[in-house]
Structure 1
Amino acid sequence: MRVAAIDCGTNSVRLLIADVAGGSLTEVARRMEIVRLGEGVDSTGRLNPEAIERTRKALVGYAAEIAELGVSRVRMCATSASRDASNAEDFRGMVRSVLGVDPEVITGDQEARLSFAGALHGLNAEPPYLVLDIGGGSTEFVVGFERVDAAVSVDIGCVRMTERHLHGDPPTPAEVAAAERAITKVVDNALRKVSGHGAMTLVGLAGSVTTVAALALRLPEYDAARIHHARIPYDDVAKVTTDLLGSTVADRLDLPVMHPGRADVIGAGALILRVIMERAGKASVVASEHDILDGIAFSLA
């Protein structure tokens, strides 16, 4: 069955078109657009009309590709920003008009379970796993073996933490310290809830983690094949985090692996990853290019 999975988060909207048969998935196309749907939601509680329009334009392109490639079933999941917004119906109406399907505004728990299902695809590492999905508005913590044992979604993400704390360019030491205190408090609570300290393998998903991995690997350009399942030591994550938080947005844009839409928030994303590794006592993280999109695709089969 050829399916289309769409994940619309706080920072990006992504598409996976895949052929799914039994427990196997063959990727046909994978796309990502930074639309910053959740811009300002943390402070206003509403989706910005300009952000909805940016998302609409991305979805128009996705709809054309879905039609061209003969997709049988489509599922779109909308996560943190659309959960938090008081005008989410404006967003849902736009999606219906473009894609012909309703977006599912999934809960944090559903998001965590879909991410876990996607992350385990093709993974060869020692269980139990602690899977992290660091998004723009939230981060999901999931622990399990072949299935989920415990999951929690918390309101720390690269966009949310940047908007709350990291206002300087580069952020000041006081701003970084305030962000780290806030992140640490939430992370400690999340790790207790899912018993994350007992996991043998830490797996990190989404753009903050894969960008940090690309920088740690010193890649000359973003290379998903080299990033996927790369194991990145804590010391390398810490160095990349320090470098990012000490640089300006313009400096980050000069990095060959940096997506332009991620440059202003990657410092916060890296800090979240570093704090989680530190508080969970993990010496390394396995970066995964398989994530909630893959989980959505499997759910359609």
Structure 2
Amino acid sequence: MSDFLIDEELLAAIDMGSNSFHLAIARLDHGEVKKVVSMSEKVQLAAGLDDNNNLTDVAQQRGLACLSRFVGRLSSVQANRLRIVATNALRQAKNGQDFIDKAAKILPKPIEIIAGREEARLIYLGVSHTMANGGRRLVIDIGGGSTEFIIGEQFEPIYTESLQMGCVAFTNKFFADGEINVKNFNKAVSAATKELLAIANVYKEEGWETVVGSSGTIKACRQIIINLGWSDEKQTITRTGVEKLKEKLLKYKHISELDFEGLKEDRRAVLPAGFAILYAIFNVMDIDRMMYSDGALREGVMYDLLGRFKHEDIRDRSVQALVGRYNIDIKQAERVVKTAQKLFDDVAESLKLTNEDSDLLRRAAYLHEIGLAISHGGYHRHGAYVLEHSDIPGFSQIDQNCLSHLVAHHRRKIKADLKNEVLKVGTPALVYLCLLLRLAVLLNHSRSDQMLPAIELTVLNEQQWCLTVSGDAKQWPLLVADLHDEQAQFKHWNIDLIIQSEKFID
């Protein structure tokens, strides 16, 4: 992967939302992302969740068919310049992995299921890059399965939250039969209000100067209010306009009767539920007016990807924040990082490891002792749990699972059957990274800046690695013992670790 992008090179993002799937392709123009292709399809993945939170076959087929059409537009985009993110519907689906496995046969890159707060961060990034005004903003994005709230300044979010309410989920719950009446509408508003009360006080105390909405529900409501002449001179959504729209909406008896000018057919079914959420937001958050931004998750994904090429990767900032928060011994972490990088460089070509693999190993090396903040006993397991279940900006669930496995297996015995668990999460590369991290940690057991013996790791074949150690073994008796113990652990994962040196004697 190149370390930078030049003008005219393409970036792309696929946003697999709970209501709609979006594809955006853009070129880099003087540091700014300029869209050249934009596609959107109402897949309504969330509507395909059954009573047991499993995606139905019909819903999966809708999603796969849409992704197949999107892939047809990606021929000019290199795979390392594409990101594919999935949100609430796949977060909730118990059989989400089945869908991901099917999609993997279609897509050039794996799907990243992102946590709610990571979704919020990326939405804010997309909105902030597409708006000229500064100041403190409250950004709100009503999706199909969840609604994100972000307070931020410039390009930096301050508070991020994702609430379990969305236009598709609320349609299924409160407007499933298509009927529109005061009772159904009030139930939806009450449910949204209950969710909002969990964050309202904290957000209002923090405060904001402007409110910005994004994505389909808010876009549709704004357009209706504009068309009816109920917006202000800046075409913002006002509290008065929202109240008038409520009165007009409740005059209809059924979703099929909705005839607002400009309302798309595929938006009609979810409008009452989406508007009920918007109505509750205006009331609970005491909002007078809301602007609209075309920037959303897919734009944020592309700007985040651009940052990675510019060495402004949010994931590295998140790792350093975790190092500080959990009081990790930074000197020891950096020793392990340095050794891990040396071992990686030795074998990267032979094992076909990538720059992304190098980044993953480096981040795991910084965080391998994170569990010590909880307890010394079994701290690798505590660390693995923290990394799997925390909200870590910039990381998808897959990223965090990979980090978790690296930390979980960096010490103590490893069982043969655990290799299959690692393979399910990643690829053979993740198995190799686990073993490289184990060696890097082992070689730094002394926790000292004293010179280590010169080492070189080579791959003889798929099942044999050779660690060459220069110098007299008698200088490092504990290292000798540890390396020979480690041979047995490597063998559990079908790797023969050969230790070789003229003076390195059993």
TM-score strictly above 0.5: yes
1:176 aligns with 2:185: yes
- The 1:246–1:93 alpha-carbon spacing in structure 2 relative to 1, beyond 3 Å, is farther
* Residue correspondence of structure 1 range 1-301 to structure 2 within 5 A: 1-21=9-29, 23-41=31-49, 43-67=51-75, 69-71=76-78, 73-125=81-133, 127-146=135-154, 147-195=156-204, 198-218=207-227, 230-247=235-252, 248-252=254-258, 254-301=259-306
Cα deviation, residue 116, structure 1: 0.2
Cα distance, 1:264 vs structure 2: 0.9
Shift of 1:93: 1.2
Instruction: State the alpha-carbon separation in 2 of the partners of residues 25 and 55 from structure 1.
Output: 27
Instruction: Return closer, same or farther for 1:71/1:231 CA change in 2, 3 Å cut-off.
Output: farther
Residue 285 of structure 1 deviates from its aligned partner by: 0.6
Contact 1:212 1:270 in 2 (8 A): yes
- CA distance in 2 between counterparts of 1:296 and 1:167 reads 33
Letter paired with 1:17: I
Question: Is the CA contact 1:241–1:267 (under 8 Å) kept in the aligned structure 2?
Answer: no
Cα distance, 1:193 vs structure 2: 4.2
Q: Aligned equivalents of 1:58 and 1:280: distance in 2?
A: 36
* Shift of residue 168, structure 1, vs aligned partner: 4.5
Contact 2:50-2:56 at 8 Å conserved across structures: no
Alpha-carbon contact 1:137-1:159 (below 8 Å) kept: yes
- Give the 3-state SS of the residue equivalent to 2:266 in structure 1: coil
- Deviation of 1:230 after TM superposition, in Å, equals 4.1
**Identity, % of aligned pairs?**
29
Superposed CA offset, 1:68-91 (max 9, x none): x44552111100000001000111
* Separation in 1, partners of 2:205, 2:298: 23
String of CA shifts for 1:192-241, please: whole Å, max 9, x gaps: 3444771111111110000011111118xxxxxxxxx8422121123224
Q: In the superposition, relative to structure 1, how do residues 62 and 167 fare at CA in structure 2: closer, same or farther (>3 Å)?
A: closer
In 1, the alpha carbon distance for the partners of 2:237 and 2:289 equals 5
Alpha-carbon displacement from aligned partner over 1:29-58 (angstroms, at most 9, x marks no partner)? 111100111114273311111111111111
Q: How many residues align?
A: 290
The answer to whether the Cα contact below 8 Å between 1:244 and 1:266 also exists between their aligned partners in 2 is no
Structure whose alpha-carbon radius of gyration is higher: 2
Question: What SS is found at the alignment partner of 2:256?
Answer: helix
Aligned residue number for residue 226 of structure 1: none
Q: Which has the higher contact order (CA 8 A, sep 6+)?
A: 1
Cα separation, 2, equivalents of 1:8 and 1:132: 18
* Partner AA of 2:62 in structure 1: R
Gaps of 5+ in 2: 1-8, 229-233, 307-506
> Partners in 2 of 1:210 and 1:57 — Cα distance?
26
- Distance in 2, Cα, partners of 1:204 & 1:196: 20
Corresponding position of 2:351: none
The Cα of 1:23 is off from its aligned counterpart by 4.2
Distance change (3 Å), C-alpha of 1:148 and 1:158 = same
Over aligned residue pairs, what C-alpha RMSD do you find? 2.0
Deviation at 1:121?
1.7
Q: Which 10-residue stretch deviates more, 238-247 or 179-188?
A: 238-247
2-structure distance, mates of 1:275, 1:233: 14
Q: Which structure has more strand as a fraction of its residues? A: 1
Matched to 2:255, the amino acid is V
Q: Distance in 1 between matches of 2:52 and 2:251?
A: 29
Distance 2:294 2:200 in 1: 23
